[in-house]
Amino acid sequence: MSMLAIAAPALKLLFERVGKPEVYKLPDLLRSGGSGAVIICNHSGWADSLWISYAVHPRRLRHMSKRELFHSPLRSWFLDQGGSIPIDRVDPSPGTIKAAVDLLRRGELLLIFPAGTRQENAVFKRGAATIALHAKVPIVPALYEGPKQIRAVDLLIRPRIKVTFGAVIPTSGLPLGKATATALTQSLQTSIDNLRFDQGIQNPCVIALP
């Protein structure tokens, strides 16, 4: 068991003190007892992966992180404990892709930022779609809205944090190949754009403590 899994209950309470988190439309697939799935999300800073982890708690979230972050042994240990999987964003190795597919087939959740950058409106890459197709697991779009990082001052100001999930996109039965991955990636980008401009979201399933 990872250190993060042991500390998860305490971390959840801490998160509710450094922000006002709201989670909308969490699908049953991501709740306890759900199956493996790829979650895709916009990428604004290092805090977004932490808040997506909060949103799917108590399930553990694994995520892909650029290999450059693992150069320091201490940082590498913390990233590994936090569920990170190193990946070369320019030339992903077959071994890394296989490791991601294997954990999804074991029923785990994997977060991928398909844009591969923190820039808004960046074009999505095919990696998330390719991995989901090979693992034959659904893809769940998510939109994170909130600060790019967590700061000590947030204990006082408690900024609003909003995580909104979109409709589950099945991949089982779809043919493997570049054409399918490309078409699926375009659909994923449209799903994120639709979440970004959706103004009628109601009924959050998780609300911050007062």
pLDDT of res. 69 = 65
CA-based nearest residue to 43, from 161, 142, 130, 129: 142
Asked whether the bond before 58 is cis by omega within 30 degrees of 0, the reply is yes
- Asked whether the beta carbons of 130 and 114 are under 8 A apart, the reply is no
pLDDT of res. 118 = 59
pLDDT under 70: residue ranges of the chain: 1-9, 65-72, 74-84, 86-93, 116-121, 199-210
Instruction: Summarize pLDDT for 85-144 with one digit per residue, the tens.
Output: 766 666 666 777 888 899 999 999 999 988 866 566 677 888 899 999 999 999 999 999
For residues 129 and 186, give the distance between their C-alpha atoms in angstroms, rounded to a whole number.
Answer: 10
Report the predicted TM-score, pTM, of the whole model to 2 decimal places: 0.80
106 three-state secondary structure: coil
For residues 97 and 103, give the distance between their C-alpha atoms in angstroms, rounded to a whole number.
Answer: 10
- Asked whether the beta carbons of 172 and 197 are under 8 A apart, the reply is no
**Average per-residue pLDDT in the chain?**
80
Apex CA 203: angle with CA 200 and CA 204, to 5°?
105
